[in-house]
Structure 1
Amino acid sequence: MEIKKDVLPKKSGLFRDDSGKKDLPLRSLFFLQGSMGWAGLVLGALGLGAAVLLLAVSGWFITAAGVAGLSLVTLHSFNYLQPAAFIRLLAITRTLALYGERIVSHDGVLRLLQRLRIWLFDGLSMMNRFRMAGFGSGDLMQRMLADIDLLDQWPLRALSPWIWAAGLCLLYGAVLFWIFPVLSVLFICFMLSLCGLLPLLILPPVLRLSRSHTAMAGRRRQFVLETMAGLITLRTTGAFLARRKAIASMDQDILKNQWHLQSLGVAAQFFIFLSLSAALWMVLLYGGRAVQEDHFSAAVLVGLVCVMLGFVEVLLPLSTTFQALGFTLGARDRLLEAVQGEQEEKRKVTVLSGAPSLSLEGISGRQQNAVTGPRDVSVLLQKGGTLWMEGPSGCGKSTLALMMTGWLRPMGGAIRVNGVPMEDVEERCLRRCVGLLDQDVHLFPMSLRENLCLAKPLAREDELFDLLDAVGLGDWARQLPDGLDTQLGDYGTGVSGGQARRLALVRLLLMETPILVLDEPFEGLDSSTADQLLAMLRSRQKDGILIVISHQQLKGRRHFDHCLSIDV
């Protein structure tokens, strides 16, 4: 895959690991922000440092001013202006730095999400055509939308708080060492205990719960989408109530999982408060003795204590970092599951030459989770050949159509296109040779012209009307308010089922594929209209191959070269 240099940094570590597989290391989630990631870290550290120092200087200033007021000599010599100005400077720095960090970090995250979406769509576009059918629409939507959005949790809410906390703790430890080494050793020991015990106690259960939450959210989205798609059927049959109860049960499970995550977050906050309180009392205890021994003044001790109080703002966000890490890892694993699977290989056969032919040699197979499917089907179709397939519902006619067009891998037998095994033909080449009219036709919320021109962007208007006339929709299209520029609703609302199927057929005919496989093309049409449409198709495919799957007993079927009846 070719990616522009300004879209992906060379050293991001994204897309490929050493074995050439798709990979998404956590480090790349930071580096893909570019310079904005580093700028956000610097501004965040500056803002938090200014906040802590503001509290420390304020405590020192109040204490020192109070002590200076006890004596007229010290009161006259004490400089009130410089500390006050420094406090105002720190307050302004804190506000500007934290505000700037929000702006810069969000800009970096938007850059990250842009590059991640390119990576994901690239991976999905290369997904093996046989594997793509294994994902439901709701599951893919969860991966493309919700899971991608969760990946910004790592740089923004998991990594940055630890970098800021570690940097400020080391800086404070160095200041303590300069003032009184014993306090520095005590503080560093407490911080190391906090940073070691907190992940050990909180991280494992949080990772388990957050991964489970991501998986449950994906299943719920798929279930809800399936429910909405079949809403009319569910309400007609009275099964909607049971479906709604199932959704409510899923919601309860997700809420219970969230409650457990929040409980662990509260436990982490309590542990941080305990550690900071213990460290604060140790600083007070040993710092008080140091003041009595005149190592430093009481005002300095108050400033050090205020720093400890200010560290609540620095360390408390650590309690949510484990949850952010868990969501990131769960989302990353689901995305890698989609893009690291069997990819569409670059086949050797990119051009199919010669007269069109399609050979089925003992084909057997069934769709995922299906109980039955076609068994031991053999047929040879050459230039000008026609095949009529019929059989009861559920016998596997649509399954056989998917196998003949390369969307489903046969479980047995072989399929050859122009004498070449179908699995050896490159995807783009196969689509130019074999066309499929599926039972589930899709019209996009665009104009009629845009829907048809998906197959041939440069199609002329007279060419479109010729095909619309051929399928019996020419007069209907001319009478539309805006003609071909009339907007269609979502999922083709505004047109009937039969019209939608014939519009999809026009779109397929624009591709001019030599082999056409039509699954129930006459659904919703009367026998006379269906026979006229069938005659047109036979005429257009006289130099190609026409395969029709239908349960209708049309007169034109008698003129087909082959008739295949499939039993359950």
Structure 2
Amino acid sequence: MARSKQGGDAASALLQREARAARGRLGLPLALGVAQIVLGIAQAWVIAGLIAGLLGHGAAGWPALGAAAALALVSAGLGVAQERALLAAGEAAKARLRAQAFDRLLALGAADPRPVGERAALVVDRIEALEGFLTRWLPAAALAIAGPILVAGAGFAVDATSGAILLVAALLVPVAMALTGIGAAQASRRQFAALDLLSGRFLDRMRGLPTLVLFRRQEAEAQALGRAAEELRQRTMRVLRVAFLSSASMEALAAGAIACLAIRHAAILGQNHPDPAGALFCLLLVPALFTPLRAFSQAYHERLGARGAAAELAPLLAVPAEGGLVLEEMPRRLVVSFQDVRLTYDPTRPPALDGLSFRVLPGETLVLAGPSGAGKSSVLRLLMGFRRPDSGRISLNGQDATKLAPAELRRLSAYVGQRAHLFRATIRENIALARPEATAAQVEAAAAAARVTDFAKGLPLGLETLVGEGGYGLSGGQAQRVAIARAFLRDTPLVLLDEPTAHLDPGTEAEVLDSLRRLCTGRTAIVASHSRAAQRALGRVLAIEAGRAPGPRMAGE
């Protein structure tokens, strides 16, 4: 219960903060909305006069008809202008929120335990849901107050009783919405939770589809996905039921207001009504009264959805910005020291690092060897700032590395992992991703150093050849050379390699190891690798077992 209350408070705080941030951009749409309401009142007055004239109460001419048409056109133009202003405000709000969320995800990096699908849903679906709150709920809430006041005031000016009927009908709308909306926010949050489960599970299973087929688990996983989809369908239908019930209550109130006004004016029309046009005007004010209220009712569900989305986003956006020192200049040589470093991911399991100590000098390559789970990748995570040690000291050139901002730690290093991720772009653009400001000559030099140009010469457009998402069109070894070219282009004093030759055949591995040797030359390099060939070729080997280093051995031992 306390956690739920804290989540609700965090969601409310996020929505209030975003409402304040969007206030400046919503001024124009609100002004346009008020102008549209005023035009609707004027249009009702003109049309009432026309109808009264057609019924024999006064004169009805072409000027009045032209005025009604002109008011309708101007009102439509204001509506289009308002939509465009709201769209611009929504795009600006989404861009700001996505930048914040993406910065937090980058700051968390590998420390974020959420699946990829859930992270994608946070940045895409949750922020899309917040757009409805900012661009529909906030303007609709303001206009739902201003509109009925203006319309009821116009009704009071003609007939006090009619104005009172309109005002009472407007006041009953939020009551009806509150009665029909009990539990809707909870239903919306459960819908988002079901969507998270389905999206994350689907993406993870698609990535692991070959493994599922290999172990004949495809049918079981298809059934599990079907159950998750069915749960999402049921929760979506619950939310829709609330929406339809709210709309029905709105239509019932509108019908009741028209009935009351009709009874009121029919009772006195039989007694030679003094103002037939005014009576018709009061009846025609009902659509003008309920237009902003209907928008408010529809946006109410946007608010419920946004509250559920904010509850999911708030913990991510609450992650504090990176703190720490910033480097004045990039050091050209780097000494890396671990002294009795300990790191634990889960208190119920053994530590990932348990008093690990080693030292790597400039120009030296240290190969971390050991079984899976020994702690090799944890060393790289610490050096990239994705985790902080529980105890011990990590020093760079004798200075405490934990005092640096995590982004600065990453600026010191070039990283090559097991599988290089290439984006849908040219080979040149994929290499330049490591340093976008690099010149064409620098990119080509990095490509040559990594031997990318060896295979690029055989491609139709060389480095300008377009590759697909994930490196489609290149072999695993070619994609890995592109990743090495990125590391060459970064030209950092520290090189971190995590199983850089995994999944490569022996011939390709030998070619990649040749590029890696040249990359590590003159730099401080730390390599995590099971490969015997890599351990023999790259440098000093440090065997790690259960997060400890029993003792170093030289390459080839």
- TM-score, normalised to structure 2, is 0.83
Query: What is the identity, as a one-letter code, of the residue corresponding to 2:59?
Result: N
Q: Following TM superposition, by how much is the alpha carbon of 1:491 offset from its aligned partner in structure 2, in angstroms?
A: 0.9
- Residue matched to 1:28: 21
Q: Following TM superposition, by how much is the alpha carbon of 1:425 offset from its aligned partner in structure 2, in angstroms?
A: 1.3
Q: Following TM superposition, by how much is the alpha carbon of 1:289 offset from its aligned partner in structure 2, in angstroms?
A: 4.3
Q: Following TM superposition, by how much is the alpha carbon of 1:319 offset from its aligned partner in structure 2, in angstroms?
A: 2.9
Is the 8 Å Cα contact of residues 437 and 505 (structure 1) preserved in structure 2? yes
CA pair 124-96 structure 1, distance change in 2 beyond 3 A: same
1 CA distance for matches of 2:386 and 2:464? 32
Is the 8 Å Cα contact of residues 443 and 491 (structure 1) preserved in structure 2? yes
Is the 8 Å Cα contact of residues 385 and 407 (structure 2) preserved in structure 1? no
Query: What is the identity, as a one-letter code, of the residue corresponding to 1:24?
Result: R
1 CA distance for matches of 2:357 and 2:432? 35
- Residue matched to 2:490: 511
Is the 8 Å Cα contact of residues 126 and 313 (structure 2) preserved in structure 1? yes
- Residue matched to 2:554: none
Q: Following TM superposition, by how much is the alpha carbon of 1:443 offset from its aligned partner in structure 2, in angstroms?
A: 1.0
CA pair 556-462 structure 1, distance change in 2 beyond 3 A: farther
Superposition pairs of residues 358-507 of structure 1, within 5 angstroms: 358-365=336-343, 373-457=352-436, 468=447, 470-507=449-486
Q: Following TM superposition, by how much is the alpha carbon of 1:254 offset from its aligned partner in structure 2, in angstroms?
A: 2.4
CA pair 62-247 structure 1, distance change in 2 beyond 3 A: farther
1 CA distance for matches of 2:408 and 2:464? 31
- Residue matched to 1:71: none
- Residue matched to 1:208: 186
Which residue, 87, 111, 117 being the options, matches 1:109? 87
Q: Following TM superposition, by how much is the alpha carbon of 1:567 offset from its aligned partner in structure 2, in angstroms?
A: 4.3
Is the 8 Å Cα contact of residues 44 and 97 (structure 1) preserved in structure 2? yes
- Partner of 1:362, secondary structure, is strand
- Residue matched to 2:150: 171
- Residue matched to 1:148: 127
Superposition pairs of residues 177-196 of structure 1, within 5 angstroms: 177-195=156-174
Q: Following TM superposition, by how much is the alpha carbon of 1:249 offset from its aligned partner in structure 2, in angstroms?
A: 2.3
Q: Following TM superposition, by how much is the alpha carbon of 1:532 offset from its aligned partner in structure 2, in angstroms?
A: 6.5
2 CA distance for matches of 1:447 and 1:106? 36
CA pair 464-189 structure 1, distance change in 2 beyond 3 A: closer
- Residue matched to 1:223: 201
- Partner of 1:518, secondary structure, is strand
Is the 8 Å Cα contact of residues 502 and 521 (structure 1) preserved in structure 2? no
CA pair 23-424 structure 1, distance change in 2 beyond 3 A: farther
- Partner of 2:125, secondary structure, is helix
Query: What is the identity, as a one-letter code, of the residue corresponding to 2:364?
Result: G
1 CA distance for matches of 2:159 and 2:452? 90
Q: Which of 40-49 and 353-362 deviates more? A: 40-49
Q: Following TM superposition, by how much is the alpha carbon of 1:47 offset from its aligned partner in structure 2, in angstroms?
A: 5.6
Matched, 1:41 2:33: yes
2 CA distance for matches of 1:283 and 1:163? 26
Is the 8 Å Cα contact of residues 105 and 156 (structure 1) preserved in structure 2? no
- Partner of 1:80, secondary structure, is coil
Superposition pairs of residues 288-327 of structure 1, within 5 angstroms: 288-291=266-269, 296-298=274-276, 300-308=278-286, 311-327=289-305
Q: Following TM superposition, by how much is the alpha carbon of 1:492 offset from its aligned partner in structure 2, in angstroms?
A: 0.6
Query: What is the identity, as a one-letter code, of the residue corresponding to 1:284?
Result: A
Structure 1 segments unaligned to the other structure (5+ residues): 1-16, 69-77
Query: What is the identity, as a one-letter code, of the residue corresponding to 2:251?
Result: F
Which residue, 308, 333, 344 being the options, matches 2:322? 344
Is the 8 Å Cα contact of residues 456 and 511 (structure 1) preserved in structure 2? yes
1 CA distance for matches of 2:15 and 2:158? 52
Is the 8 Å Cα contact of residues 392 and 551 (structure 1) preserved in structure 2? yes
Is the 8 Å Cα contact of residues 60 and 303 (structure 1) preserved in structure 2? no
2 CA distance for matches of 1:167 and 1:21? 26
Q: Following TM superposition, by how much is the alpha carbon of 1:173 offset from its aligned partner in structure 2, in angstroms?
A: 2.4
Q: Following TM superposition, by how much is the alpha carbon of 1:274 offset from its aligned partner in structure 2, in angstroms?
A: 2.9
Q: Following TM superposition, by how much is the alpha carbon of 1:103 offset from its aligned partner in structure 2, in angstroms?
A: 4.1
Which residue, 522, 526, 530 being the options, matches 2:501? 522
2 CA distance for matches of 1:183 and 1:309? 14
- Partner of 1:413, secondary structure, is strand
Is the 8 Å Cα contact of residues 48 and 277 (structure 2) preserved in structure 1? no
Is the 8 Å Cα contact of residues 354 and 546 (structure 2) preserved in structure 1? no
CA pair 287-389 structure 1, distance change in 2 beyond 3 A: same
1 CA distance for matches of 2:459 and 2:375? 38
Is the 8 Å Cα contact of residues 34 and 146 (structure 2) preserved in structure 1? no
1:281-333 Cα offsets, whole Å, 9 max, x none, are 33334434444666634554344234336645454344322101112333344
- Residue matched to 2:4: none
- Residue matched to 2:230: 252
Structure 2 segments unaligned to the other structure (5+ residues): 1-9, 548-557
Q: Following TM superposition, by how much is the alpha carbon of 1:463 offset from its aligned partner in structure 2, in angstroms?
A: 5.7
Q: Following TM superposition, by how much is the alpha carbon of 1:152 offset from its aligned partner in structure 2, in angstroms?
A: 3.0
1:109-130 Cα offsets, whole Å, 9 max, x none, are 2343134313431453266734
- Partner of 1:152, secondary structure, is helix
Query: What is the identity, as a one-letter code, of the residue corresponding to 2:527?
Result: V
Is the 8 Å Cα contact of residues 436 and 517 (structure 1) preserved in structure 2? yes
CA pair 200-364 structure 1, distance change in 2 beyond 3 A: same
CA pair 42-172 structure 1, distance change in 2 beyond 3 A: closer
CA pair 219-491 structure 1, distance change in 2 beyond 3 A: same
Cα RMSD for the two superposed structures: 3.5
Q: Following TM superposition, by how much is the alpha carbon of 1:513 offset from its aligned partner in structure 2, in angstroms?
A: 1.8
Sequence identity of aligned pairs in percent? 20
1 CA distance for matches of 2:73 and 2:121? 37
Query: What is the identity, as a one-letter code, of the residue corresponding to 1:363?
Result: V
1 CA distance for matches of 2:294 and 2:443? 65
2 CA distance for matches of 1:39 and 1:175? 19
Query: What is the identity, as a one-letter code, of the residue corresponding to 1:79?
Result: A
